[in-house]
DNA sequence: TAGGCCATCTGGTCCT
DNA sequence: AGGACCAGATGGCCTA
């Protein structure tokens, strides 16, 4: 998956040449070092400069330098930089390599989380992946739209719902989303559940869609597929579908697609809290006031349809929490294959 | 071919 | 000292 990076190759070759070979480079006629600095964006204030200090240090040692006017120049303040010995060079190189590996790993983790987020978006397609930025935008819109459904009774079949979903998205993404909503969901459910659980029926596993479950959105006159697919398991919540018990632990084995969250047990879910605290202006602000309850409704609606939830005995809403859920955990928990997660048991208290 | 998207490397900063 | 996080730079790939 990792494609070879020309720069990486270059850098690996150059590794060590910018700094610890400064002596050699600077002694040559050509301006190789400045070329390399320019090419890789190293500034005079950067490490190359530090290397120069090292070089100077070698020359100056501990003596005070003499300025051009013959007056002694005071020694530079701060900790004296150590000479770049071979051992230090090697140690630096090893450290850099390790740091690169960590950074790669970190970014992979970030991308995994983003992938998990993509999977719970209303349009998920393995072939046509949403870009990172569009995924985040759509996720925000999706949460917003669902909260509208619960708070304002906005119909998931209305233009307004789709408008909310597509707000701020690029035209291709908007088309994708609209196309998904247009197509309905049943086939997708199959694909996803089969992927993760080897199930062939839409009713198995976490939640399941009723046979023939279909959303019919007004045709916006969009271009033809290929589009991604509407995630049926999301919409069935919106439509009040009451599937099999999500508390059934035996269904939890379907959650193999995503690594389990190793962190502390779910704190009181706080999406609402996060929304309540949000400061940045949004394109949707001014259209409605976002209340902490919206997020709670959202959470609840993913576990139980709102209509069913209303009848739950003694269910209580959670207080907004200072905790923030890791993104991948938050959405994993809502993913169809994770709806049976035991963590979800923390949503309600009786 | 330009532009968008992405992966990777890198140095800086903060924290433990 | 070392790890996590971040942002900038760079080059590759893909598509209109």
- Nucleic strand C near CB of residue A107 (< 7 Å): no
> Quick one: pLDDT at residue A81?
53
Return chain A residues 5..44 having CB < 7 Å to nucleic acid strand B.
5, 7-8, 11-12, 14-15, 18-19, 40, 42
Return chain A residues 279..338 having CB < 7 Å to nucleic acid strand B.
none
Q: What is d(CA A295, CA A282) in angstroms, rounded to the nearest whole number?
A: 16
Q: Mean pLDDT in each 10-residue stretch from start to end of chain A (350 residues)? A: 35 37 32 34 33 36 40 45 70 85 87 86 79 88 92 88 86 80 44 32 30 31 34 41 31 32 32 34 35 29 28 27 32 32 27
> Quick one: pLDDT at residue A114?
87
> Quick one: pLDDT at residue A266?
31
**d(CA A271, C1' B16) / Å:** 29
**d(CA A116, C1' B10) / Å:** 28
- Nucleic strand C near CB of residue A223 (< 7 Å): no
* Nearest protein residue by Cα to C1' of nucleotide C2: A95
How large is the angle between the packed helices A86-119 and A327-334, nearest 10 degrees? 30
- Nucleic strand B near CB of residue A3 (< 7 Å): yes
Q: What is d(CA A236, CA A162) in angstroms, rounded to the nearest whole number?
A: 16
- Nucleic strand C near CB of residue A40 (< 7 Å): yes
- CB within 8 Å of A66: residues ≥ 6 apart: A72, A73
- Report pTM: 0.47
* Nearest protein residue by Cα to C1' of nucleotide C10: A7
Q: What is d(CA A32, CA A309) in angstroms, rounded to the nearest whole number?
A: 69
Q: What is d(CA A185, CA A189) in angstroms, rounded to the nearest whole number?
A: 7
Q: What is d(CA A328, CA A95) in angstroms, rounded to the nearest whole number?
A: 29
Q: What is d(CA A145, CA A141) in angstroms, rounded to the nearest whole number?
A: 6
> Quick one: pLDDT at residue A148?
92
- Nucleic strand C near CB of residue A159 (< 7 Å): no
* Nearest protein residue by Cα to C1' of nucleotide B12: A46
- CB within 8 Å of A175: residues ≥ 6 apart: A222, A223, A227
Can you say whether the dihedral through the CA atoms of A148, A153, A156, A158 is positive or negative? Answer: negative
Can you say whether the dihedral through the CA atoms of A301, A304, A310, A316 is positive or negative? Answer: negative
**d(CA A312, C1' B9) / Å:** 54
Q: What is d(CA A105, CA A175) in angstroms, rounded to the nearest whole number?
A: 33
- Nucleic strand B near CB of residue A108 (< 7 Å): yes
- Nucleic strand B near CB of residue A109 (< 7 Å): no
Q: How many CB atoms lie within 10 A of CB A171?
A: 8
Q: What is the largest CA-CA distance in chain A?
A: 92
> Quick one: pLDDT at residue A150?
93
> Quick one: pLDDT at residue A147?
93
Strand B, nucleotides covered by protein (CB < 7 Å): 4-12
- Nearest nucleotide (C1') to the CA of residue A132? B5
Q: Could you give the C-alpha distances from A83 to A26, A42, A105, A121, A243, in angstroms and in order?
A: 16, 21, 32, 54, 69
Return chain A residues 40..99 having CB < 7 Å to nucleic acid strand B.
40, 42, 45-47, 50, 96-97, 99
């Amino acid at each position: 998956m990792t494609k070879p990076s020309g720069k990486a190759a270059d850098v690996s070759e150059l590794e060590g040449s910018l700094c610890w070979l400064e002596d050699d480079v600077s002694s040559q006629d050509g301006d190789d070092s400045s070329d390399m600095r320019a090419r890789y964006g190293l500034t005079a204030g950067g490490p190359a400069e530090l290397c120069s200090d090292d070089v100077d240090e070698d020359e100056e040692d501990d003596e005070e330098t003499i300025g051009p006017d013959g007056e002694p120049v005071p020694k530079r303040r701060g900790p004296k930089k150590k000479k770049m010995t071979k051992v230090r060079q090697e140690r630096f190189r090893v450290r850099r390599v390790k740091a690169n590996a960590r950074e790669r790993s970190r970014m992979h983790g970030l991308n995994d989380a983003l992938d998990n987020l993509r999977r719970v978006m209303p349009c998920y397609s393995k072939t046509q992946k949403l870009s990172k930025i569009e995924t985040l935008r759509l996720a925000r819109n999706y949460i917003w739209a669902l909260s509208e459904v619960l708070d304002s009774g906005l119909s998931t079949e209305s233009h307004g719902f789709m408008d909310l979903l597509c707000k701020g998205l690029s035209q291709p993404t908007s088309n994708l989303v609209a196309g998904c909503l247009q197509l309905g969901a049943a086939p997708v459910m199959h694909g996803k559940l089969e992927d993760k659980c080897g199930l062939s029926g839409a009713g198995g596993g976490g939640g399941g869609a009723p046979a023939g479950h279909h959303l019919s959105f007004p045709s916006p006159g969009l271009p033809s597929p290929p589009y991604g697919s509407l995630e049926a398991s999301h919409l069935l919540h919106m439509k009040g579908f009451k599937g099999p018990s999500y508390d059934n632990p035996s269904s939890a084995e379907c959650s193999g697609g995503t690594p389990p969250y190793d962190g502390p047990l779910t704190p009181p879910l706080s999406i609402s809290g996060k929304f309540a605290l949000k400061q940045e202006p949004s394109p949707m602000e001014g259209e409605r006031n976002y209340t902490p309850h919206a997020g709670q409704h959202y959470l609840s609606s993913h576990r139980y349809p709102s209509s069913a939830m209303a009848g739950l005995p003694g269910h209580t809403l959670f207080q907004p929490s200072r905790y923030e859920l890791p993104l991948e955990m938050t959405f994993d928990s809502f993913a169809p294959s994770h709806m049976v997660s035991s963590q979800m048991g923390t949503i309600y208290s009786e």
